Structure 1
């Protein structure tokens, strides 16, 4: 369909084995995804294509896509040709240590990107009120989880989805979310490192100190605690999440 030759040696497998990515003969990147047919209603199926309409946010260019049915396996496949991103993600460049080494220009650029993204009009939903209420309620009682500010968000902004050059990648889940949700996601991804955590709190204070930002942080704490409970052992994220949650609860219950 695309008249491309794939560099098989460049393959990158996504989490769970449902996606693969390849360098192409055109110098682009081809992302291939499979889904069970009953999951096609998910907005994530067209997230990358839909994100191409967002302005003033550094997003890899999207060029074309195609889909095809695989009834023998009850699957549908999708392929997207996008701009090849040479800059590594912060996670692959060194994780939390690489994040602490990011220059002030990177943080300023990220604040600008998230502000522009927050103002983009969309009907997509990244994090719903029901989802936030459910996740917080599974761990913490007596919290009014009503969100009072909503904004468009990437909705999965951990250190694996931002590059050292400031590009935002993996746009499957973007849509409306509580204000500050993206900053809270970076905050949660930084929990094991107090120095980095403090920097994220300072850089995104305007959003994180809002009611919606604190609720987003508490939801991420709940998720970290739930994962540890399910595994039966603490994780690098769950122990600091419990400490931070207590601080958040004082404010949110007050």
Structure 2
């Protein structure tokens, strides 16, 4: 989905660290490399002598920044949600530091099925059964009812960003719930498994549904299916969640991410306001 780091030296550094990390968890690389957002992560299918096929994910950060929400996200999500919702189990983590960088390697359960989309922005129509939507809704209900001290969205950010990107006063978040934090079809599979939990935390109620809706806006029939599956989107808290998600994605678009989604996001805001 994403590309390697722009600097060849960073690519080589990550590849060396990945090979070392595979050795630390006693795994053999068996699949092609998969780069994360701006080359911040490197992953691949691996073979483990006890676990069989697994997914090894390497996260990198400068040594003085190897902490915080994203760094700890998958580990803390595993403690709360493994075995309770459809997510890959986290089997092991190891850390290492070299040349000013810290690396966290995570050995996950391998999910042998494709994601519903290669990109967060859905561009291809999906024929998903009602059971798929029921499973997703059940899992998100469990997540939303799970207590956490992690925060995915902050009112302070909303107060700064909504006036800047929407030109309207910021809404007040009055209903909070735990959210996956990055829900789109590239993080969902046919089961559906929910992938990529590093950003989970407290967010406006309905945030996950609003995020999924926003990324599906280019296909109105799928967007309507999201609305039908998550009635909270038609409530006052759901409206607040949508305003916040649109603000986030417009901010992201201002940095060059998914500019093709901007007209649909602007249309959604017109409907909401």
Count of residue pairs brought into register by the alignment: 244
SS for the counterpart of 1:69 is strand
**CA separation in 1, counterparts of 2:121 and 2:199?**
22
Partner of 1:61: 89
Instruction: Measure, in 1, the Cα distance between the counterparts of 2:145 and 2:254.
Output: 37
1:15 is aligned, of 37, 48, 59, to 37
Q: Deviations over 1:154-181 (max 9, x none)?
A: 0000111111111100011001111000
Unaligned runs of 5+ in 2: 1-23
Does 2:243 correspond to 1:218? Answer: yes
CA distance in 2, matches of 1:66, 1:59: 20
Tell me the SS of whatever aligns to 1:32.
Answer: strand
Pick one of 233, 236, 245 that aligns with 2:260. Answer: 236
Q: How far 1:139 moved relative to its partner?
A: 1.9
Describe how 1:85-234 pairs up with structure 2 within 5 A.
85-92=111-118, 96=122, 100-205=126-231, 207-228=232-253
Shift of 1:92: 3.1
Deviations 1:100-140 (A, max 9, x none): 31111000111101000001111111111122332212123
CA distance in 2, matches of 1:68, 1:173: 22
C-alpha distance in 1, partners of 2:65/2:241? 26
When residues 3 and 142 of structure 1 are mapped into structure 2, their CA distance, relative to the original with a 3 A threshold, is closer
When normalised by structure 2's length, the TM-score is 0.82
CA shift, 1:43, in A, is 1.3
Secondary structure, in 3 states, of the residue corresponding to 2:182?
coil
Alpha-carbon contact 1:155-1:182 (below 8 Å) kept: yes
Q: Aligned partners of 2:127 and 2:93: how far apart in 1?
A: 36
| Contact kept? 2:125, 2:219, Cα under 8 Å | no
Aligned equivalent of 1:252? none
Judged with a 3 Å threshold, the aligned counterparts in structure 2 of structure 1 residues 95 and 243 are, in CA distance, closer, same or farther, namely closer
Normalised to the residue count of structure 1, the TM-score between the two structures is: 0.88
Aligned-pair distance for 1:209? Answer: 2.2
Aligned twin of 1:247:
271
